[in-house]
Structure 1
Amino acid sequence: MDFNEILVTIDKGICTIKLNRPDVRNALGLTLRKELKEFFSSVKENDEIKVIVLTGEGKAFSAGGDLSSLKEIDAVKGRMRLQSGHEMIQAIIDLEKPVIAAVNGAAAGAGFSLALACDLIIAKRSSFFVQSFANVGLVPDLGSIYFLPRLIGRQRALELMLLGERVTAEQALSLGIINRVVEDESFEDEVYQLSSRLAEGPGFAAGLTKKLVNRSVLENISETFELEGFAQGFCFESEDFKEGVQAFFEKRKPRFN
């Protein structure tokens, strides 16, 4: 299968996927979302792949949504855009193979959501996480509203979502958002060691374990996706969103009404 915006390599049962839009910090445009969904939907029967590592090319994991493509968006187009993202997230959840998010830099907005959809998260010490949606007048999407409160509780999740402040890798670890923090210079070795352990383990049992755990804690995620689509559609047509995007490109603090 040929891809334009992801790089796929397979070695000793470990499949590494790199988001390959480093010029825009691996922003999750429609093509990238579609390619990720197609990949995760297609590897179920591939016995060569035991574990998947998802990371970013360049200095960022993913900066989130591609704001350059959202300047003229409306509620209908916005809902369709979110649905493509929901299919991507659902494909990761449904895959009966472990998926590791190897966060090599910024995981912002939808990039944060993408990491949360994975089964394990290992991060460079220099990386950071930010629920940046509020900074451009949007609600959290691609599952953050579902995942984050279940990980860290309602109040802490609301704090991250409403304030839109950066969380260091160390803070994310202490909050229970991620599994491991490693030094930058040993990051690739640590990711390889972790993924190798999973690749050498009982893949059938691991897949079923993931499925059972997800069934127990992610039962109503599709309902959240549907509500999220409507809510974000309203936000896309708000004056606050227009101001947030304008301020982002003008590199200034937004003046919300």
Structure 2
Amino acid sequence: MTHADVVLVETASGVRTLTLNRPDRLNAANDELLYALTDALEAAGADTDVRVVVITGAGRGFCAGQDLGGVSGRNMSFTEHLNATYNPLIRTIRMLDKPVITAVNGVAAGAGASLALAGDIRLWAQSARLIEVFSTIALIPDSGSTWFLPRLVGYHRAFELMALAEPVLAEEGLRAGLCERVYPDETFLADVQAYAERLAARPANALALTKRALNFALTSTLDAALDQEAALQQLAGDHPEHAEGVAAFKEKRAPDFRRPR
């Protein structure tokens, strides 16, 4: 399969949807899919018409994790494989200057769970379930799970989920803060698109700087975060979006952040 086959790309109303397309394998990841998704994210980041990126899966799964058949027998260490595939992908999501929505339409297992957690916004279908399945084959969670999950649910619950490989269903995921919304399966794609379009109508530069500030603050001191906020606020204040927001407030109208005045 080619890049175009394993990750489907569609753009509508400023929303770039990237669909993992190995439905017969529950979108289990092989090298081709991981490289294609990273390339598609970078292309979305460079496209000024794209304001929000959605990652979802074809068929009944989001991503079942690593396709073990794709790595068995290869002369490559675990470290080399992660550094060549998953780690660049997760870094690309986190460093992209646009909101990334992970739209989890079914099972998200192993590295697929890590991918699901890496989004700025996580939207789940009612049938979604997240499983940190690594311990089942005597491996540790990777692709960012050890960073994302304890920050969301705390160390102890994260360890339990990783040690026992217990599935988290949609309603529990919502209560635990693993996702922001749960939508019915039958309307999931339409609900995700509507949510993404709401996000696309927000000020793109301000959201990019907000993402940058949050990423920085997660691993900084308060003093460093305050300094970073001050520097980034200047960039936000100097952007035409800010002038449009102020003008709209004064004129008692809705701001048009897609074409700032």
TM over 0.5, shorter chain = yes
Match of 1:158 in 2: 159
Offset, 1:190:
1.5
Match of 1:79 in 2: 79
Instruction: Tell me the secondary structure at the aligned position of residue 108 of structure 2.
Output: strand
Distance 2:40 2:210 in 1: 21
Task: After TM superposition, list the pairs within 5 Å mapping 1:50-129 onto structure 2.
Answer: 50-73=51-74, 76-83=76-83, 84-129=85-130
Task: After TM superposition, list the pairs within 5 Å mapping 1:24-43 onto structure 2.
Answer: 24-43=25-44
Alpha-carbon spacing, 1:73–1:134, altered in 2? closer, same or farther (3 Å): farther
Match of 1:198 in 2: 199
Return the letter of the residue paired with 1:80.
E
Match of 1:248 in 2: none
Structure 1 runs (4+) deviating above 6 angstroms are none
Offset, 1:23:
1.3
Taking structure 2 as the reference length, what is the TM-score of the superposition?
Answer: 0.80
Instruction: Tell me the secondary structure at the aligned position of residue 44 of structure 1.
Output: helix
1:8 aligns with 2:9: yes
Distance 2:196 2:219 in 1: 24
Instruction: Tell me the secondary structure at the aligned position of residue 146 of structure 2.
Output: helix
Task: After TM superposition, list the pairs within 5 Å mapping 1:165-180 onto structure 2.
Answer: 165-180=166-181
Return the letter of the residue paired with 1:67.
L
Distance 1:43 1:175 in 2: 30
Match of 1:232 in 2: none
Q: Give the superposed CA RMSD.
A: 1.6
CA contact 2:7–2:20 (8 Å) conserved in 1: yes
Q: What fraction of aligned residue pairs are identical, expressed as a percent?
A: 39
Offset, 1:2:
5.7
Give the number of aligned pairs.
Answer: 218
Return the letter of the residue paired with 1:146.
W
Instruction: Tell me the secondary structure at the aligned position of residue 4 of structure 2.
Output: coil
Distance 1:163 1:73 in 2: 28
Offset, 1:80:
1.6
- Give the gaps of 5 or more residues in structure 1: 220-257
Match of 2:146 in 1: 145
